[in-house]
A and B are shown apart, each in its own frame.
Chain A
Amino acid sequence: MRDQKNKPTSDKRKRGISRRKFLKGVGLGSGVLSSGILGGPLLPEASAVAQAAEVEVAGPTPAPIELTVNGQRKNLRLEPRVTLLEALRDWLDMTGAKKVCDRATCGACTVILDGQPVYSCSVLAIESQGKNIQTVESLAQGDSLHPLQAAFVENDAQQCGFCTPGFVVAAKAFLDKYPNPTREQARLGLGGNLCRCGTYAGIWKAVLEAATGRRDSQRGIGQGGGSNA
């Protein structure tokens, strides 16, 4: 069992593999990952793995995985190396999140995990169990766009559109945390996503406008000032 588990790891080490590929390749249960490897040394000693192996170990063969996506439970059988992004796209056909850099750089794969924006290309599906996964697909209700999405359309904050869903989700998470951002906060707060067509000017405006719209809708536009008045 242990031999089997370690196989992909040693196989990949020989090839000078990246930290993320290592994480994708190693077939460990969630307890081990969250308690050691991510925060600790890059390659755990064999003994550390042996000690940690008391917790449930999955893989490398497909294991049952339950994900909660946009409030719905999804039961899948996935190899533990499958990322959350791959699970969403290739198994659940939820393709709003895009695979672009596959290295936690560009943000096109952004989803919200228990309220926090994450690069889903660098989170394992098995690690996402028991967490609330929110994707871009949850924002619009039928033909009715989320106000933030409407602001993206109004400010032409998209060209080819490939980065757009990731930006929308990142912006949503940002506004959830900073409902009244300054221009400077928005400028820095949206720095985790990249666009190649160059739609930043529109995105910046859209996010600020969505925040203003949110304030206006809370206090009612044209009602003689907000709560401070």
Chain B
Amino acid sequence: MPEYRWPEIGTTSLIGKRINRVDGPEKVTGRAKYTYDLKRPGMLYGKMLRCPHAHARILSIDTSEAEKLSGVAAVHIVQEPGTEIQWAGDDVVAVAAVTEQITEDAIRRIKVEYEKLPHLVREEDLAKAGDRVKPFTEQVTGDPDQAFQAADTVVVEGEYGLPVVTHCCLEVHGQVAEWEGDRVTIYPSIQGVERVAGQYAQALGVPASNVRTLMQYVGGGFGSKVAADRWGTACAQLAKKAGKPVRLMLERKEDQEVAGNRPSDFARIKLAATRDGTITAWQSESWGTGGPGGGGSPPIPYIWQIPNQRKIHSAIATNCGPARAWRAPNHPQACYLTMCPIDDLAAKLNMDPLDLVVKNVSLLGPRAELYRQELAKAAELMEWKKNWHPRGDRSPGPMKRGMGLSLHTWGGGGHSSECQVSIHPDGSVEVSLCTQDIGTGTRTVLTIVTAETLGLPVEAIRLNIGDNRLPPSGNSGGSTTVGGVSSSTRRAALNALEQLFLTVAPSLGVSPEQLEAVGGQIRVKGDPTKSLSWKQATAKLGVASIKEMGKQPGPQPNPGELTSSGVGGVQMADVSVDVETGVVKVNKIVAVQDCGLIIDMKTAESQVYGALIMGICYSLMEERVMDQLTGRMLNANMEFYKLAGLADIGELVVHMWTDPEQQRRGVIGLGEPPVISPGAVIANAVASAIGVRVPYLPLTPPRVLAALEKGGMV
């Protein structure tokens, strides 16, 4: 059995280098076919009639006029009369017709009567939430009361919060469904091609063996695309009724209202330190909503192991579309609710927040030393010590400049994964596993791992993914994909190579252990003159291909394994704020990020750039705006639900932390960690610039101006 290790540091020809995304050409030419682009023979277009009320009971449904319309092929009632609807936009009736336009006409002909019920859609004021508040148990550590009252203690108190934001994937949720007898093929837009098949089987009442799921490209997921969803089942049912394939993609408005969001979190926080800056006590009363279910509790204080704590969280059940995992679930909220008070504490102590964090670095747990080093690197890249000033930029003119910092953590250990590597007699190589590339570079990583292991160029590798008949490799969520699939692929490739060595060793007159695969050759270690080209070697297989499996069991606790879990990361931001208009401009963000062994430096950096930009979006612009009167989302679109554009991003500096110690940790996921800190760094930089805390994200001009009016330096 081969030894399952990554190659020695410094010996690789591909791993860790800057390799182009292998599906880049497909994407830039528009040839990449996403679910929304599929057109199956005779395909119909599906749409959904949705409930216009935030809380209502369906009394009656009349679809007769829709069914009479020429071109309508199937009508399917998704939720029957008597059902209590818990959020506006929930699915009621699905329709399929020969064109999208006729489907729209049919939807307008359906009559539904509702009994409206009382609703709550806003949660930022805890006092108005009434019986919708579900308090969690209070948690106490140490003796917070004594710590807050101790002599020589400095205490800051404040309220902080982040609103609900949506995923706003550019490809809306949806799928194509096609039946052949009692077998169904689903083309989903999904983060889990393998797992979603089982969900369809269960929902449709067909054997799991009858469900095929296929997907090559997905236009964004960010955590929101892991379920078959009611609209997926409805699409399959329409296709069954019509006897034709149906494509049902959500409208943008629907996607914004019902297809997932990140829960809000608000908190009243008290934080104490001794006069010399030693953090001693934390108290928080927090609340937030993830929709009708209320939602979970953010892990605060985030990372900091403060000795004395009292905290209580309340979940508020609202009549809004339910939350879904949003890139690093709960972490951006917890990070913001922790790092902002720490910054305010530094201001009150009249300390540089960098000094306060470094002074208390021992409270940062097992990665304290790594954080200290990453802080030093980030400070160097930001020229923090040269540029830092006490809170409030005193320079003349309306433009005020400031800096903020934050740190974060995430797991990211690889999930279980199985992979098959085939070496064919003609020299071609196939890698097969049911994973998906959600834009993170999974295809590229798998190609690099196989090519490196077999000593071949990336062009020599053919990769098969996105088909539930391939070996199972789980969902792409929680940054667990890269560790899992790179490890199973490394194992399978090493196993396949071992078989090839066994076949060719006799012809080179050595034992298999003496062989290595380098530069397109199978050669004797230490004697490069004794070699076979790759094709000469594989020709010796005769007619039988090598097909070897690699099984990765999941995250491994020991160092030196192929994947492990747990990363840090430090960020700093430099912003300018116009105190006359309230407009915040990001000048620069520095991100220092560790993530174990990096397979492809180019796509890894892209993950961090992307996370910073997504962070700028939620820090400055994104907010789901609910209207309590109508119970509807007011900005369920992309013109009033704002995303940053190219002109909004400033200078982004990404520094991947790649010391040998990190590389020995194996491959660890990267998608989530860098999206955690931007809210805190940008908000802290704004406080540093204008001398006053803007408590709530996003930092829109009205919020900045309100904070200035309340207590600023204008």
Contact = CB atoms under 8 A, between A and B. Distances in A.
A196 B652 contact: no
Interface residues of A, number: 61
Nearest to B615: A198
Contacts of B364: none
B101 A153 contact: no
A152 B639 contact: no
A99 B646 contact: no
Given A95-B34, A102-B252, 7 more contacts: A98-B170, A108-B170, A187-B646, A190-B646, A193-B645, A199-B613, A202-B609
Interface string B17-32: 0001101111111111
A201 B652 contact: yes
A140 B639 CA distance: 32
B609 A153 contact: no
Interface in B211-244: 217-222
Given A152-B28, A196-B643, A162 B99 contact: no
A147 to B, nearest CB: 11
B637 interface: yes
A106 interface: yes
A156 interface: yes
A161 B101 contact: no
B101 A82 contact: yes
B28 A162 contact: no
A188 B100 CA distance: 35
Contacts of B252: 100-103
Contacts of B37: 89, 95, 98
Interface in A164-211: 164-165, 168, 187-188, 190-204
Contact of B606 (A81, A103, A164, A202): A202
A139 interface: yes
Interface of A: 11, 15, 79, 81-82, 86, 89-90, 93-103, 105-106, 108, 135-137, 139-140, 143, 145, 149, 152-154, 156-165, 168, 187-188, 190-204
Contact of A198 (B26, B217, B614): B614
A160 B31 CA distance: 13
A204 B652 CA distance: 12
B602 interface: yes
Contacts of A98: 34, 36-37, 170-171, 219
B28 A196 contact: no
B168 interface: yes
B258 interface: no
B92 interface: no
Given A103-B637, A199-B606, A201-B649, A161 B27 contact: yes
A163 B613 contact: no
Contacts of A95: 30, 33-34, 36-37, 39
B656 to A, nearest CB: 14
A201 to B, nearest CB: 5
Interface in B383-411: none
B108 A149 contact: no
B150 interface: no
Contact of B29 (A90, A96, A191): A96
By Cβ-Cβ distance, the 5 closest A-B pairs, closest first, are A96-B30, A198-B613, A160-B439, A162-B219, A161-B27
Contact of B171 (A96, A145, A160, A193): A160
Contact of A196 (B32, B100, B220): B220
Nearest to B613: A198
B638 A105 contact: yes
B219 A158 contact: no
A93 B609 contact: no
Nearest to B606: A156
Contact of B438 (A15, A97, A160): A160
Contacts of A188: 647
Interface in B1-58: 20-21, 23-34, 36-37, 39, 45
A100 B170 contact: yes
Interface of B: 20-21, 23-34, 36-37, 39, 45, 99-101, 108, 168-172, 217-222, 251-252, 438-441, 602-603, 605-607, 609-614, 617, 637-639, 643-647, 649, 652
A165 B100 contact: no
Nearest to B222: A196
* Residue in B37, B45, B602 with the greatest tally of chain A CB atoms within 10 Å: B37
Contact of A191 (B171, B637, B647): B647
Contact of B612 (A194, A195, A198): A198
Given A158-B27, A159-B606, A160-B171, A196 B614 contact: yes
Contacts of B602: 156
Contact of B639 (A103, A159, A165, A199): A103
A198 B171 contact: no
A81 B104 CA distance: 12
Given A89-B37, A198-B613, A81 B101 contact: yes
Contacts of B34: 95, 98, 162
B612 A156 contact: no
Given A153-B21, A156-B21, A198-B610, A164 B28 contact: yes
B646 A204 contact: yes
A164 to B, nearest CB: 5
26 contacts: A11-B108, A82-B101, A90-B45, A96-B30, A98-B36, A101-B639, A103-B638, A108-B170, A137-B30, A139-B29, A140-B25, A143-B25, A149-B28, A158-B24, A158-B439, A159-B441, A159-B610, A160-B438, A161-B23, A164-B30, A165-B30, A191-B646, A197-B439, A200-B646, A201-B613, A202-B609
A26 to B, nearest CB: 13
Contacts of B639: 101, 103, 105
Contacts of B27: 158, 161, 164-165
Contacts of B438: 160
A190 B605 CA distance: 22
